[in-house]
Amino acid sequence: MNLANFRFETGADGVALLTWDMPGRSMNVINPEVMAELDSVIDAVVNNADIKGCVIASGKSAFSGGADLSMLQQGAAQYAKALKEQGEEVANKLFFENSRKLSLLYRKLETCGKPFAIAINGVCLGGAFELALACHYRVMADDEKTKVGLPEIKVGLFPGAGGTQRVARIMQTGDALQFLFRGDQVKPKAALGAKLVQEIAPREEIVARARAWIVNGGKALAPWDVKDFKNPSGKVFSPTGMMIWPAANAILRRETYNNYPAARAILHAVYEGLQLPMDQGLTVESRWFAHILRSKEAAAMIRSLFLSKNELEKGAHRPADVPPTNLKKIGILGAGFMGAGVAYISALNGLDVVLIDRDQESADKGKATIDKLISGSVAKGRATPAEKDALLARVHTTADYAALAGCDLVLEAVFEDRAVKADVTKRAQDVVGGDVIFASNTSTLPITSLAETAQKPENFIGIHFFSPVEKMLLVEVIVGKKTGDRALATALDFIRIIKKTPIVVNDTRGFYANRCVLNFVREGQIMLTEGVPPAMIENVARMAGMPVGPLSLNDEVALDLGWKILQATKKDLGEKAIDPAQERVLGYMVEKEGRFGRKNGKGFYDYHPDGKKSLWPGLSALAEAQLDPDTLDVKELEQRFLVTQAVEAARTLAEGVVTDPREADVGSILGFGFAPFTGGTLSYIDGMGTKAFVALCDKLAAKHGPRFEPPQLLRDMAAKGETFYGRFGTQQKAA
């Protein structure tokens, strides 16, 4: 055999060891070449009488992240070509056969007649875990870095290489559906308890344990291929089964509002497949998989949440002529919630951190926040006590700016006040000088104006984190008018170290993410004044695809912060720059009622001692009319929530704030949870069609006001039938 991605050797005991170790890659991935080689290995094992069976292992620190999803884009292109040249019937058949090749390969392995065992180390996800499920015996390393899972649902897909059928024949049906719907990664003991693996062992023993199973007579027969096999939850049409499926349907509707076709397809594939023998069940799964592959939701989510996200994380807009930076020590000014969060993720990823605040007590409070975060990870088994001690040792708290000496990067995360930011910038640069890159974590203040207080504005940049820092994946990098390439490269290198996803935007008030999400929040506030019931506002926002309602989100961000931003905007730009309805709502809540949000237990919601919350009855005072909810157009309310964000995203592109559709889409999903099934703000417009979107904007503007008015760019694109990805593609940043 001529293998490029595997090593194949047979031991004296007659057991072959297939080591998956793709050259030039940090992670093994499934692609056509890997599939072809695995197919030839199965044939070699079957046709050699001296080989008793085969163990599959990885030569890397992780087993595999699954399939290379760019294959799916290639499949879509092949379908389009066949459709044009050979017609729909031929194209559909070709697409179906191509989409099930991996499923057929795994079934070939499973039924080849010789035992295959797999030794799993590190993450084993998606199509790689489906390979594991097709093997007859699974041994998993018993350590914190080893996890298995089927996360396809998170990019608009579902397991299409046997995952739905095998998991549903291993686990109780309700548990299997939860596992498939959530796409969670499962640790060794949980995987063993769920019977997803048969054995866990120390990492250094997993290959030997897998080999021993074969030597000791392991059978090449999956449980579902044994005569009289019974599903764990019995027959679908049984009293037990009929208790599962109505509840599963209800949960699906509650959690997805039918926005995610892949989730519905999982339900169909499991429900239909469990009524059939395995081979027919796999065919059912393949038909649903092919159907989902051709859905616009899957195409948009794969593009934004996999392909574009990966490209941005690899530095799509990093200046190519700037050599890699070597960041080892950073300074953070401000030990509040945001500053402590940045310090935590920085230390977690091996950086030494100087955490400064106005006095030692305040700085130490920041370290206490870090201690709490890492202690939570230790309690959950995600970190060891030794790792906690090492992390805390990397964080030095002080009120003395002299401690910043030797820092490779300084980031301020102090109060959103120009004077305060100017003061800490000066004090820090008096120590480190103007050549050290200086970053501001401001969420709204333009970077160009903040850079005026810096010694060298070309070395000043915005690095905007989202709260809570340790959970939010997005970081917004803001380039001021004088920001240089070295500052941009350093910021992107820092973000890569801390394992976040960057988007690079040009300077403006509110940048990109806040401009869009504040429109969402404002729309909820305006609906309150119109008389839309508060509970309906919150529920309709979730029905539209947002993770939380605008009132909940506003409470989390803090109403008094929103009030301060609104007043600062009014002061800087005048009365016309703010919405009077929004000013009335926030003024009433903050100034009159003293309701600041979750932080003081009183906002649009009341926050109770038991941790629960309920909408504040006093919100009715904000309504200018009492509307009958049964007369309201729910679809229009949903559209208002999404359109107000998407049209703002289009404005940012028209203004040159965002220059790459990938960043608008990835930023909108990761930064503020814009309906992921759409692929992001600009994909939402592209998916609808610019002509239809402009018509919708005009309809909403006529009824609800000029905030829905589309920019001229959109009108021009609509007239030409253009899309954002067609017109702008993945162009490089403007200099």
DSSP string across 310-368: HHHHTTTTS-TTSPPP---EEEEE--SHHHHHHHHHHHHTT-EEEEE-SSHHHHHHHHH
Does residue 249 sit in helix, strand or coil? helix
CA distance 132 to 204: 19
Contact criterion met (CB below 8 Å) for 34 and 27 = no
CATH code, domain carrying 376: 3.40.50.720
Among 482, 508, 534, where does a domain finish?
508
Does residue 102 sit in the same domain as residue 208?
Answer: yes
Contact criterion met (CB below 8 Å) for 41 and 101 = no
H or E element at residue 8? strand 6-10
Contact criterion met (CB below 8 Å) for 346 and 408 = no
> How many C-beta atoms lie closer than 10 Å to residue 193's C-beta?
11
Residue 135 lies in a domain: yes
Write out the residue range of the structural domain in which residue 21 sits: 6-294
Does residue 500 sit in the same domain as residue 519?
Answer: no
Residue 605's φ and ψ, nearest 5 degrees, are -110, 155
CA distance 3 to 36: 10
Of 429, 486, 475, 476, the C-alpha closest to 452 is: 429
Does residue 472 sit in the same domain as residue 536?
Answer: no
Model confidence at 458, pLDDT cuts 50, 70, 90, reads very high
> What is the pairing mode between strands 613-615 and 605-607?
antiparallel
State residue 77's pLDDT score.
75
State residue 676's pLDDT score.
95
Residue 311 lies in a domain: no
Contact criterion met (CB below 8 Å) for 336 and 417 = no
Instruction: Say whether the peptide bond before residue 533 is cis (omega within 30 degrees of 0).
Output: no
CA distance 97 to 91: 10
Residue 714 lies in a domain: yes
CA distance 54 to 575: 74
In whole angstroms, how large is the CA radius of gyration of the chain?
Answer: 28
Model confidence at 614, pLDDT cuts 50, 70, 90, reads very high
In sequence order, the 6+-apart residues with CB closer than 8 A to the CB of 664 are 503, 512, 649, 652, 653, 658, 680, 681, 682, 724
State residue 509's pLDDT score.
84
Residue 716 lies in a domain: yes
Sign (positive or negative) of CA dihedral 129, 131, 137, 142: negative
pLDDT at 666 over 80: yes
Contact criterion met (CB below 8 Å) for 82 and 94 = yes
Residues 530-541 have a mean pLDDT of 96
Of 231, 305, 232, 230, the C-alpha closest to 262 is: 305
Q: What is the pLDDT of residues 62-109, one digit of tens each?
A: 999 999 887 776 777 777 788 788 888 888 888 888 889 999 999 999
CA angle 342, 344, 350 (to 5 degrees): 105
Q: Where are the alpha helices (DSSP H) in 574-660?
A: 580-586, 634-654
Least confident of 25-39, 387-401, 550-564: 550-564
Residue 152 lies in a domain: yes
pLDDT at 593 over 70: yes
Please tell me what DSSP assigns to residue 606: E
Residues 202-231 have a mean pLDDT of 96
H or E element at residue 410? strand 409-412
Does residue 470 sit in the same domain as residue 564?
Answer: no
Does residue 568 sit in the same domain as residue 599?
Answer: yes
Residues 431-458 have a mean pLDDT of 94
pLDDT at 225 over 60: yes
Residues 533-548 have a mean pLDDT of 96
Does residue 392 sit in the same domain as residue 541?
Answer: no
State residue 486's pLDDT score.
97
Class of residue 722 by CB neighbours under 10 A (exposed 0-12, middle 13-18, buried 19+): middle
CA distance 493 to 312: 12
DSSP string, 471-505: T--EEEEEE-TT--HHHHHHHHHHHHHTT-EEEEE
Residue 732 lies in a domain: no
| 3-state per-residue secondary structure call for 217-243 | CCCCCCHHHCCCCCCCCCCCCCHHHHH
Mean pLDDT of the chain: 94
CATH code, domain carrying 203: 3.90.226.10
Residues 618-635 have a mean pLDDT of 93
> How many C-beta atoms lie closer than 10 Å to residue 265's C-beta?
23
Contact criterion met (CB below 8 Å) for 155 and 305 = yes
Does residue 131 sit in the same domain as residue 175?
Answer: yes
Model confidence at 371, pLDDT cuts 50, 70, 90, reads very high
Does residue 130 sit in the same domain as residue 180?
Answer: yes
Residue 322 lies in a domain: no
Of 130, 136, 134, 147, the C-alpha closest to 200 is: 147
CA distance 565 to 522: 13
Of 143, 134, 133, 148, the C-alpha closest to 206 is: 143
Least confident of 131-135, 388-392, 660-664, 731-735: 731-735
Does residue 590 sit in the same domain as residue 462?
Answer: no
State residue 92's pLDDT score.
83
Among 508, 542, 566, where does a domain finish?
508
Contact criterion met (CB below 8 Å) for 265 and 158 = yes
Contact criterion met (CB below 8 Å) for 655 and 649 = no
CA distance 392 to 396: 8
Give me 304's structure tokens: 């934004």
Residue 299 lies in a domain: no
Model confidence at 55, pLDDT cuts 50, 70, 90, reads very high
Tally of residues, the chain: 735
State residue 732's pLDDT score.
41
Residue type, 562: G
> How many C-beta atoms lie closer than 10 Å to residue 352's C-beta?
18
Does residue 199 sit in helix, strand or coil? strand
Burial 152-185 (b: 16+ CB within 10 A, else e): bbbbbbbbbbbbbbbbbbbbbbbbbbebbbebbb
For the chain, percent of residues with pLDDT exceeding 70: 99
Does residue 527 sit in the same domain as residue 596?
Answer: yes
Q: What is the pLDDT of residues 387-442, one digit of tens each?
A: 999 999 999 999 999 999 999 999 999 988 889 999 999 999 999 999 999 999 98
Does residue 478 sit in the same domain as residue 532?
Answer: no
Overall number of domains in the chain: 3
In order of 28, 235, 277, 408, 719, the CA distances from 229 in angstroms are: 34, 11, 10, 63, 61
DSSP string, 135-186: SSEEEEE-STT-EEE-GGGGGT---TTTHHHHHHHHS-HHHHHHHHHH--EE
CA distance 535 to 614: 10
State residue 79's pLDDT score.
75
pLDDT at 735 over 60: no
CATH code, domain carrying 639: 1.10.1040.50
CA distance 348 to 343: 8
Does residue 3 sit in helix, strand or coil? coil
State residue 573's pLDDT score.
84
Model confidence at 734, pLDDT cuts 50, 70, 90, reads very low
State residue 243's pLDDT score.
87
User: What is the pTM for the complete model shown?
Assistant: 0.90
Q: What is the pLDDT of residues 465-523, one digit of tens each?
A: 998 999 999 999 999 999 999 999 999 999 999 999 999 999 988 899 999 999 999 99
Does residue 453 sit in the same domain as residue 413?
Answer: yes
Q: In the Cβ-directed half-sphere of 193, how many Cα atoms lie within 13 Å?
A: 6
